[in-house]
């Protein structure tokens, strides 16, 4: 069995690098860390990965991205992959989008940008503990 996967989705490469670095610092080699620069790319990655021996367990997604916004992306993920845990990062999501992501996307956390490393790690630990 391969390691479970965390998938980070943001259109800014520097944010993806930071997320990956912080997650690796918080969770070490327990997980594999993948990144995507758009919702479409993330959906392709999930479709390629999803099998009994390898699976995405958590998505950390930005809200404001070209093409598809984070709330719409996470709602789609919920429909196709209801077991994946979801965190929405936002610097400027409107309240209606956040509410939609919570109700239809079943996201487990919303974090404002800029987030803190400790806040991110502790939120994800809580989410994963609740999933166990």
User: Bridge-partner residues for 89, per DSSP?
Assistant: 62, 111
pLDDT at 131: 58
* Sheet (strand 5-9) strand order: 32-36, 5-9, 56-62, 85-90, 109-112
User: What's the whole-model pTM score?
Assistant: 0.95
Return the structure tokens found at 89. Answer: 């990062």
Per-domain residue ranges of the chain: 5-127
**Cβ contact 3:55 at 8 Å:** no
pLDDT digit of tens for each residue in the chain (132 aa)? 789 999 999 999 999 999 999 999 999 999 999 999 999 999 999 999 877 788 999 999 999 999 999 999 999 999 999 999 999 999 888 899 999 999 999 999 999 999 999 999 999 999 999 854
The hierarchical CATH code for the domain 5-127 is 3.40.50.2300
Question: For residue 9, which of 40, 47, 36 has the smallest C-alpha distance?
Answer: 36
């Amino acid at each position: 069995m391969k390691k479970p996967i965390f998938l980070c989705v943001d259109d800014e490469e520097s944010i993806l690098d930071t997320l990956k670095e912080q997650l690796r610092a918080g969770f070490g080699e327990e997980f594999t860390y993948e990144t995507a620069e758009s919702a479409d790319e993330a959906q392709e990655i999930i479709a390629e990965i999803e099998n009994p021996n390898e699976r995405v367990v958590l998505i950390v997604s930005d809200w404001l991205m070209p093409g598809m916004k984070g709330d719409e992306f996470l709602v789609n993920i919920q429909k196709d992959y209801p077991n994946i845990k979801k965190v929405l990062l936002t610097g400027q999501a409107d309240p209606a989008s956040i509410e939609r992501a919570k109700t239809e996307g079943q996201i487990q956390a919303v974090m404002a940008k800029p987030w803190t490393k400790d806040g991110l790690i502790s939120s994800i630990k809580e989410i994963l503990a609740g999933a166990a």
